[in-house]
Amino acid sequence: MKQHETTQQTSVIDDRGDERIFKVNELLQGKNKRSRAMIVDDDENIAEAVRQDITVFTLFVSENAELSEELTSVLPEDTDVQRVSTRLCKELFGVDRRSRVFALARKPRPWDLEELLDLPGDIVVLDGVRLMGNIGAIVRTSRALGASGIVLMGSALDSVVDRRLVRASRGGVFSLPIALADAETVLPALHERDIRVVALDPRAEHEVSSLAGLSGRIALLLGSEKDGPSAAMSEAADVSVRIEIHPDVESLNVSVSAALGLYERRPTAPTLTARVDSTAS
C-alpha cells in the first residue's frame, strides 16, 4: 500500500479560513457554479475519479478516519492530503451526510451530445428522470451492460458531476459518457446517425425480448416512473416495447426497466462483444 506522509502529519486543519477549506465551503454552499472545481465524497468515488485521470487538488481526511487500500493504491504520491478536525467537518457539511474522506478536484470536460452519439453501441435516453438514486443506478447498469453512454433530458442538473449523482452512481459518472441535452437537439442528432428510438411503454405490442432482434444502434428511451417520457419523445419513438409484469403491480422502477432492456441488448454491446471474442480465442 502506498504511504502518503501527509496523512501521518500531526497538524489538523480546524479553521474555515484555510484557503482550501474556504473553496470547499463555497462549493458545498452552491456558490460559484462556474468553478472548474468540484467536491468528490468517499474513497470509492475518489478512487474512480483518479483512475479516470481526474486531477485531485487536495484530499481531506477526517482526523479519526483512514484511507482505504483501494484509494491509496491509485492515489499519486504527490497528492496534497490534509487532516481535518471532526468539528470542522460537522460545520462544513451541516445536516447533510458528513463525509469522512472528501476531495477538491478538477471537473472533467463535459461530453458534447454529438461526441457521445458518435461512439459505437446503444445509448440510454432518460427523459424527465430526476431522482438521483434512479439516475445513479442506471449509470452503473449502463456501464455494466455495455451501453456507450447516457443522454439526460429534463433532469434539472447543471452538471453530470453533481455531488449527489457522483455518490448515487458510485463514481460511474467519471467513466461513462453522459451528456445533458433536450429533444430539439437529441432527435435530429439521432436521426442523422440512423439510431432508432425505442421506448419502453406498458401498452406496447412487442415484448422487451424483441430488443435482442433489432439490428443497428438504438436509443433506449425511458421516462419517470409516474409520467413516462415526454409527448415529443414518445411520438418520435420508432419502436415501443413492454415489460410484462404482474397485473397487481402498477409499474417497475425506471432503473429496473433500464436494466431489463439493456440486458436484452447485450449481444450488440461493443465492450461485451469484445470481451467474449477475446476469451473465445
Chain-centre distance of CA 14, in angstroms?
32
Torsion of CA 116, 118, 121, 122, to 10 degrees: 60
**Residue 9 pLDDT greater than 80, yes or no:** no
First to last CA, the chain: 35
**Residue 241 pLDDT greater than 70, yes or no:** yes
**Residue 112 pLDDT greater than 60, yes or no:** yes
pTM of the predicted structure, to 2 decimals: 0.90
pLDDT at 273: 73
CB 214 within 8 A of CB 198: yes
Q: What is the pLDDT of residues 125-145, one digit of tens each?
A: 999 999 999 999 999 999 999
CATH numbers and ranges of domains, the chain:
5-106 (3.30.1330.30), 113-280 (3.40.1280.10)
pLDDT at 280: 41
At residue 77, the 3 state secondary structure works out as coil
CB 99 within 8 A of CB 166: no
**Residue 3 pLDDT greater than 60, yes or no:** no
Report the share of the chain in percent with pLDDT over 90: 79
Q: What is the pLDDT of residues 50-101, one digit of tens each?
A: 999 999 999 999 998 999 999 999 999 999 999 999 999 999 998 777 789 9
166-186 in b/e form (b: 16+ CB < 10 A) is bbbbbbbbbebbbbbbebeeb
Report the share of the chain in percent with pLDDT over 70: 94
* One-character DSSP codes across 95-119: TSPPPSEEEEEEPPPPPPHHHHHTS
Of 220, 196, 216, nearest to 208 (Cα)?
220
Helix (H) or strand (E) holding 132: helix 132-144
Gap between the Cα atoms of 131 and 259, Å rounded: 16
Gap between the Cα atoms of 40 and 75, Å rounded: 14
Q: Which three cell numbers stand for residue 96?
A: 447533510
At residue 83, the 3 state secondary structure works out as strand
